[in-house]
Amino acid sequence: MSERFPEGALAALRPLFKPKSVAVIGASGTRGKQGNTAVRYMLKSGFAGNFYPINPGGGEIEGVRAYKSLDEVPETIDTALMVIPAAMTAGSLKECVAHGMKSMVIGSVGYAEMGTDEGRALQAEVVKIAKAGNLRLVGPNTNGIFNATDRVPLGYSSAYGHDLTPGPVSVAAHSGALFNSLAPRLLEQRAGLGKFVPLGNEADLSMLDFLEYFIEDPDTGIIGLIIEGISDGNRFRALADQARAAGKPIVALKLGRSKAGQGATQAHSSRLAGSARAFDAIFREYGIAQVPTVEALAGACGVLLGTKVRVANTKLVSVTTTGGGASMMADFAEKYDIPLAGNPDGSWGGKVAEYIATIKDAGMVRNPTDTGVIGGQQNMTPLFEAQEADGWIGPTMVFTHPLPNLKQSHVVADYLIGRAQRTGSPVVVVAPDGLVPELRDRYAENNLPFFRDVTTAFDSFQAYYATMPRTKQAPDPVPAAVKDLGAKLATKAAFLSETESAAILKAAGVPMVESKTVTSAAEATSAAKTTGYPVVLKALAPDVAHKAAAGFVMAGLNDEGALTKAYATMDERIAKAGFKRADVQVILQPMMAAKAEIILGVSNEDPLGHFLVAGLGGIYTEILDEVLLLPIPVARATIREGLAGSKLGRLVQHIGGDAALDQVTSALGALQALIQAHGDKIESIDVNPLLVGEKSCIAVDALIVPKQK
- What residues does each domain of the chain span? 9-300, 309-448, 473-513+592-709, 516-591
Per-residue confidence (pLDDT) for residue 621, from 0 to 100: 58
**What is the CATH T-level fold of the domain 9-300, as seen in this structure?**
Rossmann fold (3.40.50)
CA distance 457 to 450: 8
Closest by CA position to 681, among listed 498, 481, 476, 496: 496
Question: Nearest-CA neighbor of 592 among 703, 702, 697?
Answer: 697
Residue pair 103/78 in contact by the 8 Å Cβ criterion: yes
Under the banding of pLDDT at 50, 70 and 90, the label for residue 567 is: very high
* pLDDT of amino acid 274: 54
- What is the mean pLDDT of the segment spanning 313-336? 93
The SS3 of residue 387 is helix
Give me the CATH code for the 516-591 domain, please: 3.30.1490.20
Give the residue-averaged pLDDT of 594-622. 86
Q: Give per-residue pLDDT as tens, 373-420.
A: 888 778 899 999 999 999 999 999 999 887 778 888 898 899 999 999
Residue 288: phi and psi, rounded to 5, are: -100, 125
Look at residue 668 and tell me whether its pLDDT is greater than 50. Answer: yes
CA atoms within 13 A on the CB side of 415: 22
66-75, 173-182, 335-344, 347-356: which has the minimum mean pLDDT?
Answer: 173-182
Q: How far apart are CA 371 and CA 529, in angstroms?
A: 75
Quick one: CATH architecture of 309-448?
3-Layer(aba) Sandwich (3.40)
**Mean local confidence (pLDDT), 228-237:** 93
- Confidence category of residue 215, pLDDT binned at 50, 70, 90: very high
Query: Do 9-300 and 516-591 have matching folds?
Result: no
d(CA 53, CA 193): 26
* pLDDT at residue number 273: 47
Backbone angles phi, psi at 65, to 5 degrees: -65, 135
Domain 473-513+592-709 has CATH 2.130.10.10: no
Amino acid making up residue 256 = G
Mean pLDDT, to the nearest integer, of 92-110? 96
Quickly state the pLDDT bin for 261 (edges 50, 70, 90). Answer: very low
Please give the Cα distance from 43 to 64 (Å, whole number): 9
Upper half-sphere CA count for residue 59 (Cβ side, 13 Å)? 10
3-state percent breakdown (helix, strand, coil) of the chain, nearest 5: 40, 20, 40
Give the C-alpha separation, 208 to 118, whole Å: 27
Whole-number pLDDT of residue 256: 81
> What are the residues whose beta carbons fall under 8 Å from the beta carbon of 449, sequence distance 6 or more?
189, 299, 302, 303, 305, 306, 426, 428, 429, 443, 460
| pLDDT score at 624 | 66
CA–CA separation, 167 and 194 (whole Å): 5
Mean pLDDT (the chain, rounded): 92
Rounded to an integer, what distance in angstroms lies between the CA atom of residue 328 and that of residue 2? 48
Minimal CA–CA distance to 143: which of 282, 260, 286, 35? Answer: 35
In this predicted structure, the answer to whether residue 262 has a pLDDT above a threshold of 50 is no
* Residue 28 contacts residue 56 (beta carbons within 8 Å): no
Angle at 551 between CA 549 and CA 552, to 5 degrees: 105
Q: Residue 620's pLDDT band (boundaries 50, 70, 90)?
A: low
pLDDT at 648 over 50: yes
